Amino acid sequence: MTLLDELTAVLGPAGCLTDGLEGAKSDASGTGRTAPLALLRPATVAEVSAALAICHRHRQPVVPQGGMTGLAGGANPGPGQIALSLSRLSGVEEIDPDVPAMLVCAGTVLETAQKAAEAAGFLLPIDLGARGSAQIGGLIATNAGGLRVIRHGTTRDNLLGVEAVLADGTVLSHLNRSVKDNTGYDLRHLIAGSEGTLAVITRAVLRLRPQGPPPATALVALDGYPQVLALLRLAGARLTVSAFEAMWRDYFALNQQLANVTAFADPPAFAVIVETESGDAALGAFLEEAFEAGLITDALPAQSLADARRFWDIREGHAMDRALPHLLNLDVALPVGRLDAFAAACRARLLARYPDAHLSFFGHIGDGNLHIAVDAGSDAAHEVDRIAYGIVRDMGGSISAEHGIGLLKRDWLDHSRSPAELATMRAIKAALDPAGILNPGKVI
């Protein structure tokens, strides 16, 4: 039997597709050009295991695919590779209200899992814009960040247990449900963030949280970055902060205009959205204290959900894509105190190379995470990366705060990790996937 015959025998014809695979070419980065040889769609953990065992015997490279919402090309097939979609291995299997936690299959769409948690009276504290497509397995494999990190951490911080299948089909299952478990090496955190290169995630136990009160939101104006840092610290001391999103003047001015909103007619050096679970009264007292301490020059507390929505519209910048045809969105992290120095260096060097480029800065700065919006014309991506990641390297930062490495950042990984670290990662890869069939060419 050929490889595909063997796979079809195990997965059935609906589990091994060879036609109509356009959608399996690329993640949301749009950079994938190659259709996979076949798209496997196992419906059970046993089928994932059987399919991988067959591929392993044939030394057939396999690229795991979730909701294809990644931005680093991590799920793009290379030539001659087979794609393995987790979409059919889907559903919330159990909600344990005492822990509280959820046992969920890897192919479950995030929004589906969120709604199941909500129906049981809980919050699943992982959230991001792609919630309608992103799948739990992919979120874990990339350690997705998103909107609630400052309050509840990244995906790995909400992961209690995981089940995954190694390259040879071995099922590694530790569907732990306790916050504490010190029984040997933490394989959970090794698999989380490994972007499908060490194992294929099949199920997970995710922590749930109590449903919080509706957030109180304000947009504030500040004169400089030292004030932003002081405000962040004051917010941490006075409030339960659920978002602290900073926009540099360039980003705020452009997106206020694109969103057709006038929050601050005269765009300040920095605009910050502060969102808290502590309620309107606590937010009001905090704003007053910040104003009296000279940290902020103006503040707009949201009077309604619509108000808050307008602030977020500016921050989310959905119209940028249309306004800037060659928009790149870089995602870096540095110690929060250095973000503005980084932005200044980045602006100077990129404008020296591309005098007409659009450049603007914004970020989840409570997490040390800065995004850089760049439009330097077509075909500038590599050179923009080179310049920006060079500064990240010199300043000791991370070239990927939340998007992962995938394919697109692989060549820059040595800007954030040392030769000793890369060698250690390769040793781990060789130990867990000696034939190198799992997502080859990605990450390392």
Q: Which of 24, 254, 336, 384 binds a copy of itself (CB under 8 A)?
A: 336
Which residue number, 326 or 393, has a Cβ lying nearer to a copy of itself? 393
Part of the chain binding a copy of itself (CB under 8 A), chosen from 9-17, 28-36, 235-243, 304-312: 235-243
Tokens of residue 201, six digits: 């995630």
Q: Closest approach of Cβ 203 to a copy of itself, in Å?
A: 14
- Spatial separation of the C-alpha atoms in residues 303 and 212, rounded to whole Å: 19
Q: Which of 95, 198, 350, 376 binds a copy of itself (CB under 8 A)?
A: 198
Task: Please give the residues from 242 up to 281 whose contact with a copy of itself meets the rule CB under 8 A.
Answer: none
User: How many residues are there in the chain?
Assistant: 444
Binding-site string for a copy of itself from residue 44 to residue 63, where x marks contact by CB under 8 A and - marks none: --------------------
Which residue number, 24 or 198, has a Cβ lying nearer to a copy of itself? 198
Q: Which of 192, 231, 299, 350 binds a copy of itself (CB under 8 A)?
A: 192
Which residue number, 253 or 401, has a Cβ lying nearer to a copy of itself? 401
Tokens of residue 307, six digits: 């108000």
Which residue number, 18 or 173, has a Cβ lying nearer to a copy of itself? 173
User: Alpha helices of 259-380 — where are they, by DSSP H?
Assistant: 280-292, 305-316, 320-323, 339-353
365 contacts 232 by C-beta, under 8 angstroms: yes
Which residue number, 1 or 179, has a Cβ lying nearer to a copy of itself? 179
Task: Please give the residues from 366 up to 385 whose contact with a copy of itself meets the rule CB under 8 A.
Answer: 366-369
Q: Which of 401, 407, 408, 438 binds a copy of itself (CB under 8 A)?
A: 401
Task: Please give the residues from 130 up to 189 whose contact with a copy of itself meets the rule CB under 8 A.
Answer: 142-143, 145, 149-150, 153-154, 156-157, 166, 170-174, 176-187, 189
- Beta-carbon-side half-sphere exposure of residue 324 (alpha carbons within 13 Å): 23
Burial label, 367 (beta-carbon count in 10 A; 0-12, 13-18, 19+): middle
- Spatial separation of the C-alpha atoms in residues 21 and 38, rounded to whole Å: 8
Q: Closest approach of Cβ 428 to a copy of itself, in Å?
A: 6
Tokens of residue 323, six digits: 């306004």
Q: How many residues bind a copy of itself (CB under 8 A)?
A: 85
Q: Closest approach of Cβ 19 to a copy of itself, in Å?
A: 34
- Spatial separation of the C-alpha atoms in residues 174 and 188, rounded to whole Å: 8
Does residue 395 interact with a copy of itself by CB under 8 A?
no
Q: Closest approach of Cβ 332 to a copy of itself, in Å?
A: 9
332 contacts 399 by C-beta, under 8 angstroms: yes
The whole-angstrom distance between residue 181's C-alpha and the CA centroid of its chain comes to 26
Give every CB contact of residue 381 below 8 A, 6+ residues apart in sequence: 328
The H or E element spanning position 78 is none
